[in-house]
Amino acid sequence: MFRVLDHPLIATELTRLREPSCPTSEFRQRMRRIASLMAPYVTELLETEVVECTTPLEITTGKRLVQSIVLVPIMRAGLGFLDGFLDLIPEAAVAHIGLARNEETLLPEPYYMKHPPSLAGKFVLLLDPMLATGGSAVEAVRNLREAGADRIAFACLVAAPEGLATFAEACPEIPVYAAALDRCLSERGYILPGLGDAGDRLFGTEA
């Protein structure tokens, strides 16, 4: 399942993110706001249970989440996408996964992974601003599955059709949520029109 979250507030924030004149500090703030705006959509199918709730006036019933949530940013750009989700889901655990490209095979390889002792039965939300070729996302899912994750969703800012096709073929059961589906990949693997290198723009490391 793939869903573009076509919301006026998300679109407005993303438009400014695309502009080269958006400085690092503003880029971080706007990415955080987009993540917060996406959070209700990404979590809308989570199961709840009915619980007793005591108000100042009487006893009633309310709802409470059943599943624990684990947020998993793919380093490093995924870190900029994390805080916006934590703003709305402060009780979530946070795992980290770092991937680097093997210069011989050109495939992503994990160099760091830290997660709760058990991921089984938890809602694991993988975070990465850009779904370009799809290779990193697929490798991240493979590692999460090996760690016991059995319910995974993926959230990104911008997706390319090529990366979406690669991910859907490898992980057909995992829903993907994006703020936008862009036109294509460039010869260098950048999303077009895209917004440049999200990691560099987040951390001020542009050349």
Q: Render pLDDT for 115-140 as a digit per residue (tens, 0 to 9).
A: 999 899 999 999 999 999 999 999 99
The model's pLDDT over 8-41, given as tens digits with 9 standing for 90+, comes to 999 999 999 999 999 999 999 999 999 999 999 9
Report the catalytic residues. Answer: 101, 105, 197, 200
What is the domain range of residue 154? 2-203
Buried b (16+ CB within 10 A) or exposed e, 144-157: beebebebbbbbbb
This prediction has a pTM of 0.92
3-state secondary structure of 102: coil
CATH of the domain at 192: 3.40.50.2020
Total structural domains within the chain: 1
